[in-house]
Structures are given as C-alpha cells and as structure tokens.
Amino acid sequence: MKKETIERFRRFSIDRDWDQFHTPENLAKSIVIEAAELLECFQWSGTDFDEQHVKEELADVIVYTQDLLDKLGLDADEIVNMKMDQNERKYPVEKAKGKADKYDRL
C-alpha cells in the first residue's frame, strides 16, 4: 500500500481523536466485524454481488488491519514474509500443488 494512503487514514483517526478507542482488542474485533460484512456481500451468491460494496468492506478490513499493525508496532512486510516462510514449509509444492488439504493431511 502506498505510504500516502496509509498516512491519509492515520490522519483521519488522529484528527478525530479516535486513537483512544483503538486498543488492540477493539481493532481485532473491528477487523472481524468488517470481514463478516465483507462475507455478507456474497451471502446469497458468489457471482452476483455489488462490487462497490465489496470494495468498501474490504477497505474497512485493510484500514483496521493497518491500525492494528501501527498499534502493535508491527511491519506488514515482515510478518507476512514470516508467515509465508511457515506456509512454504507446511505446504511444500510437491505435496500441496492442486490440493486444498490442510497441511497435516498432505
């Protein structure tokens, strides 16, 4: 994500003095709530959905996720790469390619 975009929504919260409400717990709850609202976009059809609504809910998930990263002093690239290292070990290509099985069933 572009630094200017991140700074824009950081400024949005700062200007409204919302940091006081952004505890790690509240942000984690907000991520789950917004993810559920994103899922609701596909509740009755995986092909017939309102793309604008999907964009709005996905944006909410992204913003709250960045807020939680900030609150915990975490770097998105660092933690995503850490997780990808784990996933690559758990799901080696030769065992997982073309399969949806969980790693302990490969």
- pLDDT tens for residues 76-104? 999 999 999 999 999 999 999 999 998 88
Mean pLDDT, to the nearest integer, of 65-74?
97
CATH of the domain at 61: 1.10.287.1080
**91 and 104 assigned to the same domain:** yes
**38 and 90 assigned to the same domain:** no
CA–chain centroid gap for 70, Å, is: 13
**21 and 47 assigned to the same domain:** yes
The secondary structure of residue 77, as a DSSP letter, is H
Q: How far apart are CA 39 and CA 94, in angstroms?
A: 32
Predicted confidence band at 58 (pLDDT cuts at 50, 70, 90)?
very high
Average pLDDT, the chain: 96
